[in-house]
Amino acid sequence: METVVQSLVRHFREWGVRHVFSIPGKAIVPLMLEVGNQGVQYVLSRHECGAGYSAAGYALLSQGLGVAIGTSGPGGTNMLTAAGQAKAYHLPVLFITGHASMKDNGKPLGQDSTFFATDLVRMFEPVTLFSARVERGDQFPVYLQHAVEQAVQGVRGPVHLSIPQDVLTEATPSFQLELPSDKPLMMSTRLREALDLLATARRPLLFLGKGVHISRAYDAVQRLAETWGIPVITTPGGKGAFRSTHPLHIGPLGLGGITEAKDYLESGIDVLVVIGTKLSDMSIPFMNDRMVPKHILQFDVDGTFIGKTFPSPTLFVQGDARLNLEALLAEAERLIPAQESAYSLAAAALEAPAPESDTSTTPKVSVGLLTAEQVMQSLGDLLPQDAVVFGDDGSHSYHAIRHLQIGQAGFFRFDDVFAAMGHAIGYSVGAQLAAPDRRIVCLTGDGCMFMHGSEVSTAVNNGAHVLFIVLNNGKLDMVNKGMQNATGRTDGTVYEVPLDAAMYARSMGARVYSADNQLQFEAVLKEALLLKETIVIEACVDPDEIPPTLARG
């Protein structure tokens, strides 16, 4: 018979989990040792939250399971934010926390994780799909099975197991658990109604959210837009779900949005086709009566917020966006004559929107003070279009939402719902280890670096050649400008001693570049793209540049 820890790590190997992310501690020593025994790479993170972020990025790029391990007590509580962020991204991450031996329950213990002290099982419940404590070796097979089924099937997300130290070394019945294949969510029975609604639409509009990324519905969304000739706008989280150069693309709405997208929504929409977004205040921060469409056709896995933003009649198509859209398109091909002209007619009818980065009155490359807009212009011009750019939460990413050109769907990933500062740093590390041949880019800011920049050291020490772009303006820019606009004050938003991001990154062993004008930035970016190592480019940007985030108030 195997022990619990032997069985657990063997299953990791068989599921293709090549890396686990962790901070060591007494309660998880048996697990750390067994990871080494079986040849799985133990990635020593710099903070448990960073370990959780890295495991989530690993799950995203590997399209498999991510694993984050923390010790009892604060090791577990430090991972709660990472679990909440993984839940917002619908990423299958197994969080494992240690625990003192079961025989000592009820005694005064250091870093106690039982209900007598810091009950990690209960704490993880709101931020995971399943959280449980394995109290005996014979429970382990069914608990592991239930955890991974919840993580990878249907609506995916993080799960949590607390395993006491003595249970890790207990014998468990021998068993073989295949990583469950993703079972399709139930197909909606309302696709024919959706077709009828689209058939009657005279001025429809597609509104894309982060769910398009989650379901990888890029091709289906483009076919939908072209079949019916529907113009496209995106939420902040939906940035990158549709390429900027497509004739039907208008641009982003909400924070970071452009005037053309807002004007089009206000022009009288009869059917708003909403895919993969909750329609939050980040997506529609400036609601007015002119924006309300006559009808809404909404595709989403979760019905919690259906009908709670617009007072319009809503046809809700529940389930995985890609599967339902593909079924809808197949039905359309069967029932509706080919509409070859719809795409071209709609594209021609659209007033040509201004490019997301309007540089008509400025030179292509400027030698003046570097701006975030120029950084996005250069990234759009120079990054390979098969790169994956993780946008961190801050004004830097909202500049990207407005100005970064997307040549290939899936190029940019950003969360505007849970929105944990610094998460993109860890996500990029895990993603790079999962996909070592891809170009992974982290777009972050000085505030995010202060929170989780130490994970650059994790990247250096584990050969993750992430390209970190740090926009540094010496302040918490988004809240600084928001407070100034709303109250006339900026209390607590400016660093008295600002971050020297280049020195910080150099101290962790990264290759470092700095730039304070666009010519410099483009030169160092071109050089960095030729290298395969952990690189940090500090972009010292204009501290007075106004981010496109003031609409939310």
pLDDT value at position 478? 87
Same domain as 233, residue 98: no
> Domain with 101 in it: what CATH number?
3.40.50.970
Per-residue pLDDT tens digits for 264-279: 999 999 999 999 999 9
Is residue 178 one of the residues assigned to a domain?
no
Residues comprising the chain, all counted:
553
Does residue 144 carry a pLDDT above 90?
yes
Shared domain check, 265 and 151: no
Tokens of 252: 């982003």
Rounded-to-integer distance, Cα 373 and Cα 396, Å: 9
Top mean-pLDDT range of 128-132, 350-354, 477-481, 548-552: 128-132
Closest C-alpha among 7, 6, 71, 14 to residue 37:
6
Residue 364 lies in a domain: no
The per-residue pLDDT for range 406-454, each reduced to its tens digit, is: 999 999 999 988 999 999 999 999 999 999 999 999 999 999 999 999 9
**Co-location of 403 and 439 in the same domain:** yes
CA atoms within 13 A on the CB side of 339: 21
Judge residue 530's burial from the number of C-beta atoms within 10 Å of its C-beta, 0-12 exposed, 13-18 middle, 19 or more buried. exposed
For residue 53, pLDDT over 90 is answered with yes
pLDDT band at 362 (very low <50, low <70, confident <90, very high): very low
C-beta atoms surrounding 523 within 10 Å = 14
Residues 6 and 119 in one domain: yes
For residue 149, what are the contacts with CB-CB under 8 A and spacing of at least 6? 180
- Same structural domain for residues 503 and 420? yes
Residue 52: its pLDDT value, please? 98
Largest alpha-carbon pair distance within the chain? Answer: 75
Contacts of 266 (CB under 8 A, 6+ apart): 288, 290, 291
At residue 337 the predicted structure's pLDDT band, cuts being 50, 70 and 90, is: low
pLDDT band of residue 184 (cuts 50, 70, 90) is low
Kindly tell me if the per-residue pLDDT of 111 is higher than 90: no
Domain-located, residue 357:
no
Q: What's the pLDDT band for 107 if we cut at 50, 70, 90?
A: low
Picking from 233, 226, 227, 229, the residue whose alpha carbon sits closest to that of residue 209 is 233
Q: Within this chain, do residues 199 and 261 fall inside the same structural domain, yes or no?
A: yes
- What would the pLDDT profile of 192-206 be if each residue is shown by its tens digit? 999 999 999 999 999
pLDDT at 355: 44
pLDDT greater than 60 at residue 339 = no
Q: How deeply is 543 buried, as exposed, middle or buried, from its count of CB atoms within 10 A (0-12, 13-18, 19+)? A: middle
Return the closest-CA partner of residue 204 out of 362, 33, 349, 6: 349
The model's pTM = 0.93
Q: Which residues contact 178 (CB under 8 A, 6 or more apart)?
A: none
Q: Looking at 296, 317, 349, which one is the last position of a domain?
A: 349
Least confident range of 90-99, 109-118, 287-296: 109-118
Q: What is the predicted pLDDT for the residue at 445?
A: 97
Res 85 pLDDT > 80: yes
- Whether residue 181 is contained in a domain is answered as no
Q: Residue 210 sits in a domain of what CATH number? A: 3.40.50.1220
Task: Indicate the SS3 state at residue 461.
Answer: helix
For residue 477, the model assigns a pLDDT of 86
- Give Cα 49 distance to the centre of its chain: 15
Q: Are residues 481 and 433 in the same domain?
A: yes
Question: What pLDDT does 360 receive?
Answer: 41
**Contact present, 265 and 205 (Cβ < 8 Å):** yes
Res 483: pLDDT: 87
The per-residue b/e assignment along 449-466, b for 16 or more CB within 10 angstroms, e otherwise, is bbbbbbbbbbbbebebbb
Tokens at 505, concatenated: 């990154």
Helix (H) or strand (E) holding 296: strand 295-300
Which are the contacts of 142, defined by CB distance < 8 A and separation ≥ 6?
A: none
Mean pLDDT of all residues in 387-408: 96
Q: What percent of the chain has pLDDT over 90?
A: 81
Confidence of residue 108 (pLDDT cuts 50, 70, 90): low
- Phi and psi for 416 in degrees, rounded to 5? -110, 15
Residue 209 shares a structural domain with residue 92: no
Among 36-50, 51-65, 331-345, the least confident range: 331-345
CA distances from 419 to 87, 97, 119, 525 (A): 11, 24, 25, 27
Q: For residue 359, tell me if it sits in a domain.
A: no
> pLDDT grade, residue 229 (50/70/90)?
very high
**Average pLDDT across the chain, whole number:** 91
Whole-angstrom Cα distance, residue 201 to residue 496? 56
Say if residue 208's pLDDT is above 90: yes
Number of separate domains in the chain: 3
Tell me what percent of the chain is helix, strand and coil, each rounded to the nearest 5.
Answer: 40, 15, 45
In a domain, 182, yes or no: no
Percent of the chain with pLDDT over 70: 90
Sheet containing 204-208, strands listed edge to edge, beginning at the edge strand earlier in sequence:
249-252, 232-234, 204-208, 271-275, 295-300, 314-318
Name the E strands within 4-148: 19-22, 41-44, 66-70, 93-99, 131-133
Are 282 and 549 contacting, i.e. CB atoms less than 8 angstroms apart? Answer: no
Pairing of strands 171-172, 2-3: antiparallel
Q: What DSSP assignment string belongs to 85-109?
A: HHHHHT--EEEEEEE--GGGTTS--
8 A C-beta contact, residue 534 and residue 459 = yes
Q: Do 401 and 465 share a domain, yes or no?
A: yes
146 lies in the same domain as 14: yes
* Same-domain status, 318 and 243: yes
Domain assignment of residue 213, given as a range: 191-349
The last residue of one of the domains, among 316, 349, 382, is 349
What's the whole-number mean pLDDT along residues 519-532? 98
- The model's confidence at residue 118, banded by pLDDT at 50, 70 and 90, is confident
Residue 353's pLDDT is 46
How high is the pLDDT of residue 365? 66
Q: What is the pLDDT of residue 367?
A: 65
Instruction: Report d(CA 70, CA 65) in Å as an integer.
Output: 17
Q: In angstroms, rounded to a whole number, what is the distance separating the alpha carbons of residues 119 and 122?
A: 6
Cα(211)–Cα(275) distance, rounded to whole angstroms?
Answer: 7
Asked if residue 149 belongs to a domain, the reply is: yes
Instruction: Determine, yes or no, domain membership for 183.
Output: no
Which parts of 462-546 fold into alpha helices (H)? 477-487, 501-507, 518-528
338/405 same-domain check: no
Check residues 382 and 551 and name the one with the higher pLDDT.
Answer: 382
Domain-ending residue, one of 172, 204, 221: 172
Can you tell me the distance from the alpha carbon of 415 to that of 88, in angstroms, rounded to the nearest whole number?
8
pLDDT score at 552: 61
pLDDT at 104: 62
- Residue 319 one-letter amino acid: G
